[in-house]
Structure 1
């Protein structure tokens, strides 16, 4: 059974490994705990037993806009609803905090996941590559 927790505890190496797997790069030594506890509205962890199998970060503007970032699910748990449950818990957390909007941006191949599975609606947006 997988358990989901808003603002769940995690160790940096767990998220670094999950991020490396999800975004196909070598593991880094980022301070995820410091980053999310200082800057994020919240985050959601997914665990099978003690193993971290999913994570999503929910950044915000400090008011009514929240942003889904870094939705990650380990390869062994993909296509089983873990990502959907992570995002649903993120929606609940943002709503409970009084946010009015939850934004997400994503690569084109993830459109079915975010629009069809998670219920996001398409909207016009702009982007400047820095």
Structure 2
């Protein structure tokens, strides 16, 4: 009986920890403006770290705003926590979305593949 109670307590605490980590991911994404550091398309990498007009904002209501130099794009986004994926309306592979490779309070790295070309974006706070 004691083993069963210990097992249940362990499973509950593990579930709570996983849930809090997922909430933290969403909170990290929506915590303000992200500076775009680099954009890689296939083998070509563009360094945008010195470009003040390249940034992205994820709003809590599911809207996003992306500015690369003077080009602006707005739309809807969704975090698929179970797949560690960000889906943008009509962007990237419809099946996979943009795979989150790294996400913390200071850095976001995501990638997708379309027609054998890999697109990767690195953002920092």
Q: Same fold (TM over 0.5)?
A: no
Normalized against structure 2, the TM-score is what? 0.30
Normalized against structure 1, the TM-score is what? 0.29
Determine which structure has the larger strand proportion and give its number.
Answer: 2
